[in-house]
Amino acid sequence: MGLGGKKGTVTPHERSPSPRPKRRLKPTQKKQVKRKKRRKDLEELKKEVVLDDHKLTLEQLSAKYSVDLTKGHTPERARELLIQNGPNMLTPPPSTPKWVKFCKQLFGGFSLLLWTGSILCFVAYGIQVYFKEESSKDNLYLGIVLAIVVFITGCFSYYQEAKSSKIMESFKNMVPQKAMVIRGGEKMQIHVEDVVLGDLVEVKGGDRIPADLRLISAQGCKVDNSSLTGESEPQSRSPDFTHENPLETRNICFFSTNCVEGTARGIVIATGDSTVMGRIASLTSGLAVGQTPIAAEIEHFIHLITMVAVFLGVTFFGLSLILGYSWLEAVIFLIGIIVANVPEGLLATVTVCLTLTAKRMARKNCLVKNLEAVETLGSTSTICSDKTGTLTQNRMTVAHLWFDRTVYAADTSEDQIGKTFAKGSDSWFILARIAGLCNRADFKADQEDIPIAKRSTTGDASESALLKFIEQTHSSVKEMREKSPKVAEIPFNSTNKYQVSIHLREDSSQTHVLMMKGAPERILEFCSTFLLNGQEYPMDNDMREAFQNAYLELGSLGERVLGFCFLNLPSTYSKGFPFNTDEINFPMDNLCFVGLISMIDPPRAAVPDAVSKCRSAGIKVIMVTGDHPITAKAIAKGVGIISEGHETAEDVAARLNIPVKQVDPRDVKAIVVHGSELKDMSSEQLDHILQNHAEIVFARTSPQQKLIIVEGCQRLGAIVAVTGDGVNDSPALKKADIGIAMGITGSDVSKQAADMILLDDNFASIVTGVEEGRLIFDNLKKSIAYTLTSNIPEITPFLLFIILGIPLPLGTVTILCIDLGTDMVPAISLAYESAESDIMKRLPRNPKTENLVNKRLIGMAYGQIGMIQALAGFFTYFVILAENGFKPFDLLGIRLEWEDRYLNDMEDSYGQQWTYEQRKVVEFTCHTAFFASIVVVQWADLIICKTRRNSVFQQGMKNKVLIFGLLEETFLAALLSYTPGMDLALRMYPLKITWWLCAVPYSILIFVYDEIRKLLIRQRPGCWLERETYY
């Protein structure tokens, strides 16, 4: 919705004659057509708003809506229209039913892998049952356990999301809104939902506008459009048609904006979803949301792991056929190997890690609605931030004062601890009195306990700013007003551009003082003298020039400047004089000029720091605002989005005194793009701007344009975060990879569309979010590396069982004990690991090349550490069998005899004879010992996984959860081995102490190997080892 009046986007014949929603279709139309239509509608919604009611005269308006402009609709007609058009409310976004959400948790992403594994297990079991009468139930149990794991994890993450959506619901304002309508000539209060097209509506200060209104009369009406356009200043409203663009014209008020002051009467021209606000809301809910980066990473991971599993499975399928196994056995082996590759515990680990981070973020005021979004901030490479309310406080505040020919800066920080200025000057005393007295704003009652800056006020934003400023820096305005009561007043209007009030003087002289404030150039016209250090001097050119300079300087800071002057009325106008403000009967010239006060919606204190942190973290911060370019640029400079010393093309041109076109584009790092320019840009041009400028501000942008900007960034491969609080931000919030809404000031629509909510509305919390997101990405890598490693010692026993025909070294139960038991807490504990280096000093990860799980990680986990672990397990296995009488070489090819239930005198290497059950006990003892060995080597693995580059000695062992994890897994392993009855329950047997020690040398080897590897990587950055093994 740029400044330009012409809308080239929609051809005239497409314009609907009435604002009836175009989306509504006759039910007879076919579904397919509907769907096509929907897509077209979405495209249409992306285009600008088309409205022509503001151009109509009152008569035309009356005719169009067939309504009497004084009496309104008859109640009957209103009822008809209500039935015809439906209630005046926004259709809530199609909320996904709970069971669908639950199913998404159950069958999304990672769960799918486990389900596949589970189903394969059942298939294998089915084959076994079908072809052999008796078979081990291992596959059946494994299938069931897998299903249970997915189910429980699904429930857990569903519960987590449900919890955060509950917090969301608590935001919703449940108070039913009322509207004042005139029907059949009578005023009546009705529910906002019952307002119909053409209704005659009355609004007053403090009301929410019940529908899109075309004003027919107004008295000092001002509306706050910030939630729609992002403009921080209230706009005055009158029945006059002032602008082609419906969003700019004065005679239209928009649904769900607020009337700040005054009263107005208007005709409803659109209700519900067809309002401007409704269109944005429908645009938002119609947008398709892309995959989160972490979901993409998990998909990539699944691809990798599936490839490895299938490769192993098929290879050994072939091998087992060559070795003479039957087809059936080979198929069972194939399934067994594929399933063995499934990391059963990883889904739970990842979910818990993300939940932990989400909780940690919530403690730091970032509420994450969707678990997967936890990491997204960490991958973010571009932040498109709204200005009002996000970067700024959304509260006009006095920023500068100019008196005694000097510019003073006022404290704009939220908590008012800062610099002060020359309060000693007499000019300041007078300026403060004018600002306090010639001011219609007032504090609302019962707010004594609240800090002044946070109190709510009546009246317009700049007057409130002055009121608070005087209350804070000077004295109680209330007392001031009591001492010098107001006797007459000319309120501000847009033609005068000034405001006058006459007060009784504070001293006992019984005379009056006239005070005036307004647009500086207007004020100066009234003045013939000026005040300098409390003394009046006649106005001279020198002073005029100083005034001009000051005015320009403050104006260029994007601040709204007001001038102040006064006149001590002569004694002829003493107490009791009947001042007439309509026909002025008192002098109003030759006033004395006092000074200027400028106001701005100041940046939040923490924002500049946060922006610079984002920048050093390689994140581009783009400001996208509906506000004016000058204000936007000033704030952008104030918070560092345009950093110091960087100039826009216009700045360079002004400095060098050359036309803008001659500016060397290479000198220009910063750019301020106006919405109207953006409108005419092709996507290539937009890409060009986004690519070639480091510092970008988009001003006067419409919601649709915000969306286009986000899409542009995404097209360039960026992962985009959007922050915003208004309805106008919500399409962009939804489209962004991560939308961040404001918890306090944010509108419901924006919160609905967002993935994350800043509970304290503080942009700085985003930095925390980025940090946490990056940390969890690193830590998830470590966690996955840790978990995957133990996969190799879990698979190889089965492979060697097939190939070498040895008794099975590790069984299904023990594998599950590792994956779902001992490995769990240590893997989760890695989520608590602190960062290795300053993660905020590096660039955002490149989603194309830096994957969560890559070949190098798989290589490390499977090819190197996993192999050492497997050897440790096999060593323990051979030790136990050898010490019990079965020497290693006698084991080869023993499988069939070993598994023969009716062979009960199997001879060992010493000539002893074993029953089936006796040797099975030895086998299960081996399983237990193999399991214990994995625990022992996983100690070392956990310690090496703490870091990817640094030595453990640099990183330290400060992670208490990790230490707990080490103890816990050991304790759990001992418990599983030594608890009486475990032999019956899980077939795990007590181990001799020496059997625990078999794996220790391998554990040490893992540690030493990896320390050496990391040492080499640190010493020779970019070396071959780093390229091949640094994950």
Partner 1 sequence: MTKKEKKSFNQSLAEWKRFIYNPTSGEFLGRTAKSWGLILLFYLVFYVFLAALFTFTMWVMLQTLNDEVPKYRDQIPSPGLTVYPKPLSALEYTFSASDPESYREYVEDLKSFLKPYTLEEQKNLTDCHVGGVLFEQNGPTYTACQFPVSLLEACSGLNDPSFGYAQGNPCILVKMNRIIGLKPQGTPRIECIPKEENVAAISTYPNNGTIDLKYFPYYGKKLHVGYLQPLVAAQVIFPANSTKQEVTVECKIDGSPNLKSQDDRDKFLGRVAFKVTAHA
E strands along 225-294, which residues?
235-237, 252-253, 258-270
CB-based burial of residue 83 (10 Å sphere; 0-12 exposed, 13-18 middle, 19+ buried)? exposed
Choice from 120, 304, 600, 922 touching partner 1 (CB under 8 A): 922
- Binding piece for partner 1, criterion CB under 8 A, among 446-454, 515-523, 906-914, 941-949: 906-914
Choice from 1005, 1007, 1011, 1016 touching partner 1 (CB under 8 A): 1005
Asked if 846 touches partner 1 (CB under 8 A), the answer is no
Distance, CA of 151 to CA of 490 (rounded, Å): 71
**528 or 918: whose CB is closer to partner 1?**
918
Choice from 164, 165, 864, 955 touching partner 1 (CB under 8 A): 864
Please work out, in degrees rounded to the nearest 5, the angle formed at the alpha carbon of residue 380 by the alpha carbons of 375 and 381: 160
Choice from 875, 950, 1007, 1011 touching partner 1 (CB under 8 A): 875
Q: Least distance from C-beta 772 to partner 1, angstroms?
A: 21
Distance, CA of 198 to CA of 945 (rounded, Å): 68
Asked if 871 touches partner 1 (CB under 8 A), the answer is yes
Asked if 549 touches partner 1 (CB under 8 A), the answer is no
**175 or 984: whose CB is closer to partner 1?**
984
Choice from 195, 203, 879, 962 touching partner 1 (CB under 8 A): 879
734-793 residues in contact with partner 1 (CB under 8 A) are 737
**3 state SS of 635:** helix
Asked if 112 touches partner 1 (CB under 8 A), the answer is no
Q: Least distance from C-beta 627 to partner 1, angstroms?
A: 28
As given in the structure block, the two tokens for residue 534 are 């409390």
Catalytic positions: 386
The alpha carbon of 954 is separated from its chain's Cα centroid by a whole number of angstroms, namely 34
- Binding piece for partner 1, criterion CB under 8 A, among 304-312, 352-360, 763-771, 874-882: 874-882
Asked if 719 touches partner 1 (CB under 8 A), the answer is yes
Asked if 894 touches partner 1 (CB under 8 A), the answer is no
Are the CB atoms for 648 and 671 separated by under 8 Å? yes
**661 or 848: whose CB is closer to partner 1?**
848
What residues pair up with 565 in beta bridges, in sequence order? 516, 593
Asked if 302 touches partner 1 (CB under 8 A), the answer is no
**831 or 872: whose CB is closer to partner 1?**
872
**376 or 762: whose CB is closer to partner 1?**
376
Asked if 911 touches partner 1 (CB under 8 A), the answer is yes
439-478 residues in contact with partner 1 (CB under 8 A) are none
Q: Least distance from C-beta 1027 to partner 1, angstroms?
A: 9
What residues pair up with 267 in beta bridges, in sequence order? 200, 214
Q: Least distance from C-beta 248 to partner 1, angstroms?
A: 33
Asked if 187 touches partner 1 (CB under 8 A), the answer is no
Distance, CA of 622 to CA of 473 (rounded, Å): 35
Asked if 714 touches partner 1 (CB under 8 A), the answer is yes
Distance, CA of 772 to CA of 378 (rounded, Å): 7
Asked if 862 touches partner 1 (CB under 8 A), the answer is no
**776 or 881: whose CB is closer to partner 1?**
881
Choice from 685, 917, 975, 1023 touching partner 1 (CB under 8 A): 917
- Binding piece for partner 1, criterion CB under 8 A, among 193-201, 363-371, 612-620, 866-874: 866-874
Residue type, 269: I
Choice from 538, 582, 902, 1019 touching partner 1 (CB under 8 A): 902
Are the CB atoms for 745 and 766 separated by under 8 Å? no
Q: Least distance from C-beta 1016 to partner 1, angstroms?
A: 12
Helices (H), 240-368: 276-286, 293-322, 327-340, 346-363
Choice from 868, 940, 945, 962 touching partner 1 (CB under 8 A): 868
**8 or 863: whose CB is closer to partner 1?**
863
As given in the structure block, the two tokens for residue 996 are 């625990």
DSSP-derived secondary structure for 18-47: S---TT---TTS-HHHHHHHHHHHHHHHHS
As given in the structure block, the two tokens for residue 818 are 């590792």
- Binding piece for partner 1, criterion CB under 8 A, among 188-196, 411-419, 586-594, 711-719: 711-719
List all residues 6 or more positions away from 115 whose beta carbon is below 8 Å from its beta carbon: 107, 146, 147, 150
Asked if 132 touches partner 1 (CB under 8 A), the answer is no
Q: Least distance from C-beta 905 to partner 1, angstroms?
A: 4
E strands along 461-497, which residues?
486-490
Bridge-based pairing of strands 186-191 and 178-183 is antiparallel
- Binding piece for partner 1, criterion CB under 8 A, among 262-270, 285-293, 416-424, 945-953: 285-293
Asked if 60 touches partner 1 (CB under 8 A), the answer is no
- Binding piece for partner 1, criterion CB under 8 A, among 164-172, 484-492, 644-652, 713-721: 713-721
Distance, CA of 782 to CA of 769 (rounded, Å): 20
Count Cβ neighbours within 10 Å for each residue of 314-339 and write b for 16 or more, e otherwise: eebbeebeeeebeeebbbbbbbbbbb
Q: Interhelix angle for 110-131 vs 346-363, to 10°?
A: 160
**720 or 966: whose CB is closer to partner 1?**
720
Asked if 878 touches partner 1 (CB under 8 A), the answer is yes
Asked if 291 touches partner 1 (CB under 8 A), the answer is yes
List all residues 6 or more positions away from 462 whose beta carbon is below 8 Å from its beta carbon: 233, 396, 560, 562, 599
Distance, CA of 37 to CA of 26 (rounded, Å): 12
CB-based burial of residue 679 (10 Å sphere; 0-12 exposed, 13-18 middle, 19+ buried)? buried
Are the CB atoms for 546 and 505 separated by under 8 Å? no
Return the half-sphere exposure (C-beta side, CA atoms, 13 A cut-off) of residue 623: 39
Asked if 990 touches partner 1 (CB under 8 A), the answer is no
Asked if 319 touches partner 1 (CB under 8 A), the answer is no
Bridge-based pairing of strands 620-624 and 498-504 is unpaired
Choice from 566, 874, 898, 939 touching partner 1 (CB under 8 A): 874
* Binding-residue total with partner 1 (CB under 8 A): 48
Q: Least distance from C-beta 720 to partner 1, angstroms?
A: 9
**779 or 925: whose CB is closer to partner 1?**
925
Choice from 38, 98, 715, 841 touching partner 1 (CB under 8 A): 715
**99 or 1024: whose CB is closer to partner 1?**
1024
Binding mask 950-989 for partner 1 (x = CB under 8 A): ----------------------------------------
CB-based burial of residue 555 (10 Å sphere; 0-12 exposed, 13-18 middle, 19+ buried)? middle
Asked if 40 touches partner 1 (CB under 8 A), the answer is no
**3 state SS of 593:** strand
CB-based burial of residue 461 (10 Å sphere; 0-12 exposed, 13-18 middle, 19+ buried)? buried
CA-closest candidate to residue 811, choices 1031, 968, 988, 958: 988
Q: Least distance from C-beta 912 to partner 1, angstroms?
A: 5
Choice from 101, 888, 897, 1011 touching partner 1 (CB under 8 A): 888
Asked if 135 touches partner 1 (CB under 8 A), the answer is no
- Binding piece for partner 1, criterion CB under 8 A, among 111-119, 415-423, 552-560, 915-923: 915-923
Distance, CA of 739 to CA of 754 (rounded, Å): 4
Binding site for partner 1 (CB under 8 A): 288, 290-291, 293, 296, 711, 714-715, 719, 737, 863-864, 867-868, 871, 874-875, 878-879, 882-885, 887-888, 902, 904-905, 907-918, 921-922, 925, 992, 1001, 1005, 1024, 1028
